[in-house]
Amino acid sequence: MHILVINCGSSSIKADIRDHFSGRYVAEMEIERIGQPDSLLTLNGESETLEGPLSHGDALGVALPRLLDGLSPDTPIRGVGHRVVHGGEKFSHPVRITDEVEAALDEISSLAPLHNPANLAGIRGARSVLPDVPHVAVFDTAFHATLPRRARSYALPHDITDKAGIRRYGFHGISHAYVAQKAADFLDSDLRDLRLITCHLGNGASLCAVEYGRSIETSMGMTPLEGLVMGTRAGDIDAGVLLHLQRHHGYDTEALDDLLNRKSGLAGLSGRTNDMRDILEQAAEGDEDCRMAIQVFAHRVRKYIGAYAAVMGGADAVVFTAGIGENSAILRHRIAQRLDFMGARLHEDRNREARVNRDNPVERVSTANSRCHLLAIQTDESRAIAEAASKLIMESDRLQDSRSIPVAISARHLHVQQETVEKLFGEGYQLTPRNDLSQPGQWAAEETVKVIGPRNSFPSVRILGPPRNLDQVEISRTDEFFLGIDAPVRASGDIENTPGIILEGPAGRVELKNGVICALRHIHMTPDDADYFGVQDRDIVEVAITGGERDLVFGDVLIRVSPSFALEMHIDTDEGNAANLGRGAEGTLVCTAGRATLTRRRTTYDTVTEAAE
Ligand code: ADP
C-alpha cells in the first residue's frame, strides 16, 4: 500500500511516497522558491529549474504527475496524507478531506495565516491531480486536543477569549506524538505508563509534556510564536514589551509581526543567522552574541523541562528531536545540565558519539543509573502522516461494512463481596440469581439494599452477582447529586481514592470506606471483536449511537477486552436519557481517539475525568 504525503510550506512543497507497511521511501521530491520567478524542483535527488512564478497548485500540477510516473502500476497510490498546521477547535483527529472540510479549513486559515493557506493550496492542487483517491488532513494541533483547561487557557476575561476564539492549541503534535511512541517502543514500555518530556528543537521549536500517552502541556500557544527561542521567532516575551514598542517606538502590527516572527530568536540574538550550526561555529570562534544566543536557547529549554517535570510530578524520559535535538551533542549537553534533581544524568561520551539516522533512529544518551532516560530520537513527521492517513483509510474501509455494537443502559447497581452479603443478609447467606445479564456468567440478584448517602438514600438498589473481591457502587451523576456524594468517573475495579457510602440490608448495615464510582462508559468485547474493530484493551474510542430520537456521538469510551465478555456498550442512565435511548439501540465505532490513561495514579484520573467533562 503506497501513501503519498504532502507538506506545503509558505514557499516550498515536500512530497514523498512511502510503502505503508515497511515505511520505505518509494519516491520523493521537493519544490523550493514557490512564487519566485523560477522554482527549484528536486525529484529523487535530481534538481532542475521550473519557470515561474508558480503557485502551489501550479507547481503540484507540473511536478506531481512526474513523481507518480515512476510508480509501478501494481501498487497505485492508496491515499494522500496532507500536513495541516492548524485544526482549530474543529479538527482534533485526522479527517478525510471533502469539499466541506476544505471550506472549514478555509475558515480556520486566519488562526495560522503563515501556514494554513499554503496547506490548503496543496490540498486543492493534489486533489485535482488525484481526484479519485482519498485525501486525509493530519493536523499539527490535534495531539494537543487533550490539553486540560488549565493548560489551554490564557488568563484573560472569558468574554474576550470566547468572542475571539483565544486559547492555547500547541503545534508540532505530529512529531511529539511520533517520538513519544518511539521512546516507549525503545524503552519496551507501554506509552500509557510513561511520563515523557519531548523536545522538538528544529528551526521551529516546542516542548510537550506527554502524560501516559496524552499531551497535557506544550510550549506553543494559540500560534507557534509562544515558548522556546526559535530560529527567527522570539518565543516567550512579556506582552508589555509589545505595548512599549507600539507606544514609544512607532511599531505597528505588521512591524511587530515581522520582528517577532522573522527577526528574533536565534537570528535576533546572534545578529547573524537562524542556523544553529553557524551559531555554534561562530561561538567557538569567540563571537559573544552567538554565545549568548546559545545560552538563552538552552536556558529556556531547561526551564521548560523543569516546569513540565513539576506539572507531571516527575518524568520517565526526556526526548530530544528535530535538527538541533537529534544532531547537536553540545546543545543536549547544555540543556541537560542540572537536571539531576529529576534523576536525569547525561552520559557525556554516549552523548558525544550519538548519531541518529533513518537506520538508527534512537540513541540513549543518559547514564545507566539515570532514573529519567535521556534519548535522542529522529523524528519522521512524513511517516507519522502516512500512518495516520492509512489508518483512517483502512478504518473507513472497515466501517463500510462495520458491525454495530448493542448499547445497554446500566441502572444504578452494586457489586459486593460475599463477606458484605453476609453482613447485610445474615451469616452464610447466598444471593439468589434473578435473571441473566448479557455478559456471560453475570446475573442480577433478587436482593436489593438501601444505599444511604449524606443527603438522601435510595431504598432498593439491586445487587449484581456473582460476588466479587471488592465492593463497588455504580451510580450516575444525577444519583450523586441526589445522594450528596462526589464520585469520580472511573473504570470498574478502580476504586482507590473514591468515596464510601452506607449500605443497609435486613441483617445489618455496612459502612463502605470507598467504592462509589460513576462508571466510565465502556464497551465489553472479546479479543476477536477487538481484532475486528482494530482496537486494544484500554483504548479510548468514539461511538456514534443511532436508534434513539437523536443521533449522538459519545467520546471517551473505554475498550475492555476479555475472552469472557460479550460485545456490548454500557452507558449510565443519564447518558441514555441524553440520547433518548430505548431498548435495541446500537452504536458504531467511529474512530479510535487515543489511548486510555488508566493507571493507578491520581493525576491520570483527573485528566480522564476532565476530558470526559
Ligand atoms: P525545520 O524542520 O523546523 O526547518 P529542522 O528540524 O530541520 O528544522 O532543524 C533545523 C535546525 O537544526 C537548524 O537550526 C540547524 O542549524 C540545526 N541543525 C541541524 N544539524 C545540526 C547540527 N549537527 N548541530 C547543530 N544544529 C544542527
Q: For ligand 1, atom 19, which residue shows the shortest CA distance?
A: 323
Domain(s) labelled CATH 2.40.40 in the chain stretch across 397-406+521-600
| 24, pLDDT greater than 90 | no
pTM for the model: 0.72
**CA of 172 relative to ligand 1 center, distance in Å:** 15
Confidence of residue 109 (pLDDT cuts 50, 70, 90): confident
Helix (H, G, I), strand (E, B) or coil at 105: helix
Our mutation pick for probing the ligand 1 site, out of 83, 270, 276, counting the most ligand atoms within 8 A of Cβ, is: 276
Nearest partner of 265 among 195, 184, 183, 205, judged by Cα = 205
Q: What is the pLDDT of residue 190?
A: 92
Q: What is the pLDDT of residue 447?
A: 95
Our mutation pick for probing the ligand 1 site, out of 115, 273, 301, 327, counting the most ligand atoms within 8 A of Cβ, is: 327
**CA of 481 relative to ligand 1 center, distance in Å:** 55
Q: For ligand 1, atom 4, which residue shows the shortest CA distance?
A: 203
Q: What is the pLDDT of residue 546?
A: 65
Domain(s) labelled CATH 3.30.420.40 in the chain stretch across 2-139, 173-383
Could you please state the CATH topology (level 3) that the domain comprising 397-406+521-600 is classified under: Barwin-like endoglucanases (2.40.40)
Task: Write out pLDDT tens, residues 259-292.
Answer: 999 999 999 999 999 999 999 999 999 999 999 9
**CA of 412 relative to ligand 1 center, distance in Å:** 57
Task: Write out pLDDT tens, residues 423-452.
Answer: 999 999 999 999 998 888 999 999 999 999
- What positions carry a catalytic annotation? 140
Q: Who has greater pLDDT, 556 or 100?
A: 100
Confidence of residue 553 (pLDDT cuts 50, 70, 90): confident
Q: Would you say 473 and 512 are in contact if contact means Cβ atoms under 8 Å apart?
A: yes
Q: DSSP alpha helices (H): ranges in 263-363?
A: 265-270, 276-284, 288-312, 322-327, 329-336, 348-353
Q: What is the pLDDT of residue 545?
A: 77
Across 15-37, average pLDDT: 87
| Residue 334 DSSP one-character state | H
Q: DSSP alpha helices (H): ranges in 447-538?
A: 477-483, 527-533
| 105, pLDDT greater than 90 | yes
Our mutation pick for probing the ligand 1 site, out of 203, 266, 279, counting the most ligand atoms within 8 A of Cβ, is: 203
Task: Give the chain's mean pLDDT.
Answer: 90
| 570, pLDDT greater than 70 | yes
Rg of the chain on CA atoms, in Å: 28
**CA of 8 relative to ligand 1 center, distance in Å:** 19
What distance in Å separates the CA atoms of residue 29 and residue 399, rounded to the nearest whole number?
33
**CA of 326 relative to ligand 1 center, distance in Å:** 8
Compute, in degrees rounded to 10, the torsion defined by CA atoms 105, 108, 113, 115. -40
Q: Which residues line ligand 1 (CB under 6 A)?
A: 202-204, 231, 275-277, 280, 322-324, 327-328
Q: Who has greater pLDDT, 598 or 585?
A: 585
Nearest partner of 205 among 124, 129, 111, 274, judged by Cα = 274
Q: Could you give phi then psi for residue 399, rounded to 5 degrees?
A: -70, -20
| 421, pLDDT greater than 70 | yes
Confidence of residue 599 (pLDDT cuts 50, 70, 90): very low
CATH superfamily of 2-139: ATPase, nucleotide binding domain (3.30.420.40)
CATH of domain 173-383: 3.30.420.40
